[in-house]
Amino acid sequence: MALEEKIKQAIKDSTERKFLESLEISVNLRGVDLSNPKNRINEEIVLPKGRGREIKVALFGSEEMRGRVKDTADFVFGAEDLSKFADDKKAFKKLVNQIDFFLAEANLMATIGKSLGTVLGPRGKIPRPIPPSVDPSNSIVLLKKTVRVRSRDKRTFHVPVGNKNMSEKDVAENIKEVMKRIASKLEKGYGSIDSIYLKTTMGKAVKLEGGELQ
């Protein structure tokens, strides 16, 4: 069965919900020593057809840089906000959970790492540094189409690839891009992948074959 037919089947097999379900793939690795951090997957992948949901991006920067991204960033913070967040880590954690990606003007990175690293680091949300002279608007646009893929030390990990309202063709394109990038990071490529499944948030899993993804 072709990939687009598998996607159609996964959507058909899901019960109608009161919310828009995402589509995600589950990737199971084999023969990879994930106790060695060098072998773990830790990638940010731009989906050709986007996430199918709103992605929140925040920026820490000077007043000048914040002005550049007023039409693209969802949240903007200044240096004066860092001490406030550091003093109330509980509130900052709630905020971080609402935000998918962070950017920061390069000269703020050391302070952010020292004061907020314990919150951002474990969540994989350490900001990307931006030189003061650069307009990060284009980076923000790309991040809004980006998924973070992290295996940590587990052989099974999950990657969002779209939602039920997207066309099967667009979801298929996203899946192929994700799997191409994952395979490129594995020493044996697709030979290190045991199995791949596709499902909606609450639906049944459909097995995908490697040949359908290349």
Residue 213 has pLDDT above 90, yes or no: no
| pLDDT digit string, tens, across residues 177-187 | 999 999 999 99
| pLDDT digit string, tens, across residues 37-93 | 999 999 999 999 998 888 999 999 999 999 999 899 999 999 999 999 999 999 999
Per-residue confidence (pLDDT) for residue 19, from 0 to 100:
80
Per-residue confidence (pLDDT) for residue 20, from 0 to 100:
82
Average pLDDT over residues 188-213: 90
DSSP sequence for 65-86? HHHHTTTT-SEEE-HHHHHHHH
CB 137 within 8 A of CB 68: yes
User: What does the mean pLDDT of the chain come to?
Assistant: 93
Per-residue confidence (pLDDT) for residue 1, from 0 to 100:
61
CB 210 within 8 A of CB 30: no
* Percent of the chain's residues with pLDDT above 70: 100
Q: Which two tokens stand for residue 197?
A: 């499944």
Per-residue confidence (pLDDT) for residue 24, from 0 to 100:
96
Angle (nearest 5°) at CA 135 between 102 and 147: 35
CA-CA-CA-CA torsion sign (178, 202, 191, 210): negative
Which residues, including other chains, have CB under 8 Å from residue 165's CB and lie 6 or more apart? 20, 52
Average pLDDT over residues 192-196: 96
* Percent of the chain's residues with pLDDT above 90: 86
Please compute, for residue 60, the number of CA atoms within 13 A of its CA located in the half-sphere on the CB side: 27
| pLDDT digit string, tens, across residues 123-149 | 989 999 999 999 999 999 999 999 999
Residue 18 has pLDDT above 80, yes or no: no
Domains of the chain as residue ranges with CATH: 3-52+150-212 (3.30.190.20), 57-143 (3.40.50.790)
